[in-house]
Amino acid sequence: MTPPGTAPADPRPAPGASSMTAPASGPAAREHVLLVHAHPDDETITTGGTIASLLDSGAQVTVVTCTRGELGEVLPDDLARLRGDEAGLAVHREGEIAEALRELGVRDHRFLGDPAARTAGLPSRAYRDSGMVWRSDGVAGPTPDLHPQAFCAAEFGEIVSDLQAVVDSVRPTAIISYDEDGGYHHPDHVRANRAAVRVARLAEVPFFAVVAGADQATGAEAEALAADATVTTVDVRATTPRRVAALRRYRTQLEVVDLPGGRAGVRYPHGAVDPLPDTESFRAVPEPVRTVDAAATTSELAEMTVGGRLGTLALALAAGVVFGAIGTVAHQGTTSVAGVDAPVGLVLSLVMAAALLVGFRLVFRSRLVTTMTALGLLLTAGVFSQPGAGGSALVPANLAGLVWSFGPLLIAMVVIAWPTLPPRDATGAPTSPAPPASSPLGDRMEPLPDAKGPPQT
């Protein structure tokens, strides 16, 4: 849900892309815009005018809703039976959004986790509303009792994979979602931003962030927005009747009221009333480049939940054990070459160990993961080097056994100590400068919002 004061916005085409407000016979007819929202009603409140304008221009629109808003308010007394009935409210809000999108003209709507928005081969799932509480600083934060099925408790990789399935299906030319703070820090909004940005980067599709409150900006703030070349403002007055009709479908969450001057307004659960905006604004968010320091300090582990991190470390240890066992058995193997016994088994075992260690370091960009892999290798070699019941050992005290005992250790030390190289551009030069700490690409630059604490700002 979007609270009073957060207004919509619209996207600026990337260089070479067609206008999102062109006539239906023009280039816009080839546009396919994907909008990613957290709960039913967010799409109409923040981007309803843009959705209707895009459809009027001949563009295609797909709306993905991440949750069913099970923890939303229920305002009218005639629907009081839904208060406290999360399952019932979820079903009711499915009907509300279906009717609202019908008013706007949207034909392609998907709930994240449903078959049309789910990773191939995985059973359907419903991402549950994470809920929120108002923090002492006046912005939203996560609830202390997050449900295990909540959107913010799900593995980030699973969310991205599901959203990627939609991208693969519709091949959007642009993706729209919230800005990095989700408009007002609702954890579901923030996580939707992170997932949408990640998928946009993976698909190399332009990403546009809703500029919250742009229509209410005055003075210097309004001048700054007008001068910002990355911000596009869309006049959505022509879509007002459809937006009003769509908003009226969300009776559980809000009330459409008449304001002086013939304008429509929206009354929210806590009583505040906002006039329906005449414009919606969006900021084009380019992919930031990273400096050496940013590249060297980021790790795939930072993007995972605690369960994901523990699982990755366990996998690394297990891989080390398996490869260590194979190498221990094989390292004594030799092949006759020109009458000389060549230590082929030892060479292959060391190459295999090096490839495993380097591979884990490159994939996860984590010294800890590499250390766990090395630990599995060395522990296995150490266990198998102990004398057996018959007095023999798989790692005998010969040259090959000595090299196998210490070779993986030396390789691991080099791989772990080796600095992470910065990303390079097409010319081979390191990319720079670094994005600010508040970069919208927060999935790399800062911890992801999840059950462990408030979203980063």
- pLDDT tens, residue by residue, 380-424: 877 877 765 555 567 777 888 788 888 888 898 998 888 765 555
128 and 267 co-located in one domain: yes
**For position 18, what pLDDT does the model report?**
40
Q: What is the mean pLDDT of residues 229-233?
A: 93
**For position 102, what pLDDT does the model report?**
98
Residue 142: pLDDT band (50, 70, 90) is confident
Query: Rounded distance, CA 355 to CA 369, Å?
Result: 14
228 and 362 co-located in one domain: no
Q: Which residue has the higher pLDDT, 445 or 218?
A: 218
The reply to whether 104 falls in a domain is yes
pLDDT above 90 covers a percentage of the chain that reads: 48
**For position 2, what pLDDT does the model report?**
42
The reply to whether 4 falls in a domain is no
152 and 132 co-located in one domain: yes
Q: What is the mean pLDDT of residues 212-234?
A: 91
Residue 56: pLDDT band (50, 70, 90) is very high
Q: What is the mean pLDDT of residues 295-310?
A: 65
Q: Is residue 90 packed enough to be buried (19+ CB in 10 Å), middle (13-18) or exposed (0-12)? A: buried
Residue 88: pLDDT band (50, 70, 90) is very high
The reply to whether 360 falls in a domain is yes
At 185, the amino acid letter reads H
**For position 303, what pLDDT does the model report?**
64
276 and 299 co-located in one domain: no
Tens of pLDDT, residue by residue over 347-391, are 888 898 899 988 888 888 788 888 988 898 888 877 877 765 555
The reply to whether 5 falls in a domain is no
Q: What is the mean pLDDT of residues 111-126?
A: 97
Distances (CA, A) of 157 to 194, 301, 351, 383: 11, 11, 31, 36
Comparing 36-40, 174-178, 368-372, 441-445, the range with the smallest average pLDDT is: 441-445
Q: For position 243, which CATH number holds?
A: 3.40.50.10320
**For position 28, what pLDDT does the model report?**
52
pLDDT at residue 329 above 90?
Answer: no
pLDDT at residue 33 above 80?
Answer: yes
265 and 239 co-located in one domain: yes
The reply to whether 19 falls in a domain is no
The reply to whether 327 falls in a domain is yes
**For position 427, what pLDDT does the model report?**
53
Residue 109: pLDDT band (50, 70, 90) is very high
In contact, 296 and 419? CB cutoff 8 Å: yes
279 and 166 co-located in one domain: yes
Residue 436: pLDDT band (50, 70, 90) is very low
Mean pLDDT, the chain, rounded, equals: 82
13: tokens are 């085409």
Comparing C-alpha atoms, which of 98, 97, 11 is closest to residue 54? 11
For residue 170, the enclosing domain spans: 27-288+439-445
The reply to whether 450 falls in a domain is no
Query: Rounded distance, CA 457 to CA 440, Å?
Result: 10
Residue 429: pLDDT band (50, 70, 90) is low
Domain count of the chain? 2
179 and 37 co-located in one domain: yes
325 and 277 co-located in one domain: no
269 and 299 co-located in one domain: no
Q: Which residue has the higher pLDDT, 56 or 329?
A: 56
Question: What is the pTM assigned to this prediction?
Answer: 0.64
Distances (CA, A) of 231 to 15, 238, 251, 444: 14, 21, 32, 24
**For position 422, what pLDDT does the model report?**
54
131 and 236 co-located in one domain: yes
Comparing 42-51, 117-126, 218-227, the range with the smallest average pLDDT is: 218-227
31 and 74 co-located in one domain: yes
Distances (CA, A) of 405 to 332, 344, 376, 385, 399: 12, 16, 13, 8, 10
240 and 123 co-located in one domain: yes
Count other C-beta atoms under 10 Å from residue 318's C-beta: 13
Residue 275: pLDDT band (50, 70, 90) is very high
pLDDT at residue 264 above 50?
Answer: yes
